[in-house]
Amino acid sequence: MKEQDPEDKGFTVIDRRGAASETPPSPPMPAAEPSPGQPASRVDFSMLAQSIAFSALHYLGLMTEPENGRASERDIPLARHNIEILELLEEKTRGNLSTEEAQLLANLLYEVRMHFVEATKSPAS
């Protein structure tokens, strides 16, 4: 077997396939900044739960449309779906929420459930 020369480092392979068609990577996009006069909103569990609850209220016809000021159209199956999402969040996060978060979720669920019962008792207007 031959001894290797200490200065013999072998060879280097450079893969140049497609090098001509590759474009340089684009710089990362800057973080979105809030509009002037509006504070940056922090997304957290409370905001998520409230968003889902407001969607349920919207589908129960309890919110007003910003375009015309009229009550939103009822869609009871979608309202029920949003309530079920809140129930799932409650089940899956049990024991992992702060006291305030758990209380908020319980209150939101109570409110949307009561509105759901009211909406399903009375005929759509």
Residue 2 in any domain: the answer is no
Per-residue model confidence (pLDDT) at position 106: 96
| pLDDT-derived band at 65, boundaries 50, 70, 90 | confident
Q: Is the predicted pLDDT of residue 87 greater than 60, yes or no?
A: yes
| Mean pLDDT, the chain, whole residue set | 82
Average pLDDT score over residue span 12-24: 66
Residue 14 in any domain: the answer is no
Residue 38 in any domain: the answer is no
Average pLDDT score over residue span 64-78: 88
- Give the tokens for residue 81: 């779906």
Does residue 112 contact residue 53 with C-beta atoms inside 8 Å? yes
Residue 102 in any domain: the answer is yes
Report how many domains make up the chain: 1
Amino acid at 64: T
Q: Report how far residue 65's alpha carbon sits from residue 81's, in angstroms, rounded to the nearest whole number.
A: 21
Strand runs (DSSP E) across the chain, as ranges? none
Q: Which domain holds residue 79?
A: 52-121
Residue 81 in any domain: the answer is yes
| 38: Cα separation from own chain's centroid | 20
Residue 19 in any domain: the answer is no
Residue 112 in any domain: the answer is yes
Residue 64 in any domain: the answer is yes
- pTM for the model: 0.64
